[in-house]
Structure 1
């Protein structure tokens, strides 16, 4: 079972069974077995066009009627009725459809309980393609990602393309993000993920669903109840470090039990229920190495309460609070903080000592020497012109790891290079966009001590607003 464990699905009572149409389907592989239960009308709704897409992202497995009703109304445009399919990977009974069939605007609800081998079953795919909303039940998201590349994936995508919708709870919430925490080897806890972000339990699937306006996301469920903020920060760090996302940024979306995000066709997510969190990693983690504790500073967190919204189409640059993880230890009060309301400048990273650049430092021979600083340190400066280059020199001993993360203000785009003493580029960070942070890491494997140069270069724009680079040695 996955980390998004779902309680045993309810058994169908004899009284309810009398109202159901039950049709066992043929298998598509050895031991595969589909269970199909349809409630409501036996005939699919027919209509030329629909008004979605719409989505529900639930923190636990059950239907949240407030967001489900909004999704149904959005898809049908306030008139007519839709067909819903619930996809389950295990269990018996029809707990989701039992709720859905009682909602206004529902023509039918069909529960499909499938094995991992059933992604190409013809009846399954006919049911899904004829539906206007597909809901992935709680259970095991590792079974769900097994349908990547099958006809089932394409069928679900066709529902969204025609103006329908998709949702899910618990494991079903996980599978609807761009990067899926699949838990195919074990279930990660926050403690495990922070102690080693490459623990065997930290496995991901990409390239399954990418819903409009919801790119570069990683969903998490049962969020506060199971204390999953730490592992979501580790998910985000891994997504950025391993290039699982585009643009060097990843957004974790954690939804609490009993809560649900309704996401409309314009990408605006509105919360119904206790709480949800959006966790942004917009720079490289300082330390994300197999077998070592995570260090990831200044992660941005938005907290949503009932009725509040987050715009995934126009992702905000304000309203977050900052939290950090240092050597596997997270800051206190991860689930609450004072939001930043003035984002005109980037807060400097924390460090042991600080150094402000001294011009001219536009070449290696004129580099500012920061060897004598107490590390971790903060180095600040600015890109005074569109051709400015700021150099800083320091030393690194055998076995030491250098990590540099530069918070770039929104006034310009700057790139970060780490050079050898002779000027060869050893590693670089060249993320696109004004205000986009840059980060490099290097471990010296040779013996002895050597000199290195940090080179921060103006790529586009300039200004007097300071960048702030956190420089750490470990």
Structure 2
């Protein structure tokens, strides 16, 4: 689990009778009661329209005043006040609301402590959430939080965003706000464990709970640098791509350091407050991601942000990242820093230890295919789509039991599709992601005896140009 919640102490202000209402709700003999503590006004704000949504993604459990204030001001449009709900899975104190009630523009802050999955259907809990304009998930254990998937609470929180309110969370509450949630429901994993086996029992996910606008295909991680979680986020991203937990064959890990917070506005622009945050993009299939084996993945694209810097989640950048790889479970050194790539027309460097090949035209048919059977792996093949009808063929061999993975980075100048063909030209598998610059990946294992010739076929779908594609090939 994730024992990362800040100590939840009860302040003297919160204890004042004029500001505090304690109301046990939803009591049954089967489990502990829901606890409801309201601070501030006893009456909810009444207003027909709000100006969000707005989000705060915090690296540790506590509220960050700077980003919380940004969210409050965005939601209320600079006028009036809002009601806030803090959702917790344990404890009976109110550190989040103690801070929130002191911020300008807050009418009330209610702490709801839910101790069982069924509490997600509690009538008072859902009334409080639907009447609020911001919902904050406290730190704790995200496995408890994903248990509310499919309950009324899920729809209630979504209704807050839909009306122009907002959501946020820290530590475990950060995890539950991503598209793919690392749920820690068996145990909490480490970078060393996840890289040694990305399918270890400690690496489990929940999907289909919340998908916030502009924040699709994300996997949040907390306490990022302090607890050295870059490696495990790399494993999470590789798993998400390999297992199809994301759309378009790409996953973005968002790692936020303790004391840091992303404020994300209604247009998807994230601005960091605090020490650091990292966005880790996996845009191709892993070379090796198999249960019981260490991870191999070339060229994760990593953006490092410091306080005041931005990342546009609506229009995700294609430059400014540095590259790091993992080979047989061993990551490159200095994972938390690197030299940013500023020229995105040049393909990434080939993985070390292999060879490279640049296409030779004409190679527009199987009979004219470039022979790459002599390359050492991992290998990189480069070329370009010289016309909108160009086809580039490459011939290679696979032996019995061997698996070929091809990950092609396609430049933004054109849209290209990738096919893997049999020796007779039949399509065995293909990758046809839509859009200029959309990368393509295929994987195939030869199960027949002996060896045979196969063809990689990269075809222009729309547009063309001299910018190179780069296909990374691995064989295992």
The answer to whether TM tops 0.5 is yes
Contact 1:348 1:469 in 2 (8 A): no
Contact 1:297 1:324 in 2 (8 A): yes
Alignment of 1:138-287 (within 5 A): 138-287=139-288
For the aligned residues, what is the CA RMSD? Answer: 1.8
Partner SS, residue 117 of structure 1: helix
Query: Could you tell me how far 1:298 is from its partner in structure 2?
Result: 1.3
Query: Could you tell me how far 1:426 is from its partner in structure 2?
Result: 2.1
Alpha-carbon distance between aligned partners in 2 of 1:204 and 1:468, rounded to the nearest angstrom: 31
Alpha-carbon distance between aligned partners in 2 of 1:147 and 1:15, rounded to the nearest angstrom: 28
Alpha-carbon distance between aligned partners in 2 of 1:67 and 1:226, rounded to the nearest angstrom: 23
Larger CA deviation: 5-14 vs 422-431: 5-14
Q: Does 1:391 align with 2:393?
A: yes
Contact 1:29 1:118 in 2 (8 A): no
Contact 2:6 2:62 in 1 (8 A): no
Larger CA deviation: 167-176 vs 356-365: 356-365
**Cα distance 1:349–1:437, how it changes in 2: closer, same or farther (>3 A)?**
farther
Listed as ranges, the gaps of 5+ residues in structure 1 are none
Contact 1:406 1:439 in 2 (8 A): yes
Q: TM-score, normalised by structure 2?
A: 0.95
Alpha-carbon distance between aligned partners in 1 of 2:107 and 2:147, rounded to the nearest angstrom: 30
1:380-410 CA deviation, whole Å, 9 max, x = no partner? Answer: 2222222222211122223322222222122
Q: What is aligned with 1:3?
A: 2
1:6-45 CA deviation, whole Å, 9 max, x = no partner? Answer: 2443256698264521111123783252011111111112
**Cα distance 1:423–1:32, how it changes in 2: closer, same or farther (>3 A)?**
farther
Q: What is aligned with 2:360?
A: 358
Larger CA deviation: 389-398 vs 8-17: 8-17
Larger CA deviation: 75-84 vs 56-65: 75-84
Q: What is aligned with 1:108?
A: 108
Partner SS, residue 119 of structure 1: helix
Larger CA deviation: 25-34 vs 6-15: 6-15
1:149-169 CA deviation, whole Å, 9 max, x = no partner? Answer: 211111111111111111100
Q: What is aligned with 1:339?
A: 340
Partner SS, residue 419 of structure 2: strand
Alpha-carbon distance between aligned partners in 1 of 2:111 and 2:14, rounded to the nearest angstrom: 17
Alpha-carbon distance between aligned partners in 2 of 1:99 and 1:130, rounded to the nearest angstrom: 20
Query: Could you tell me how far 1:424 is from its partner in structure 2?
Result: 2.3
Alpha-carbon distance between aligned partners in 2 of 1:96 and 1:51, rounded to the nearest angstrom: 23
Listed as ranges, the gaps of 5+ residues in structure 2 are none
Alpha-carbon distance between aligned partners in 2 of 1:127 and 1:333, rounded to the nearest angstrom: 46
**Cα distance 1:435–1:98, how it changes in 2: closer, same or farther (>3 A)?**
same
Alpha-carbon distance between aligned partners in 1 of 2:402 and 2:238, rounded to the nearest angstrom: 21
Count of aligned residue pairs for this structure pair: 473
1:315-365 CA deviation, whole Å, 9 max, x = no partner? Answer: 111111111111211111111111122223332433522222222222222
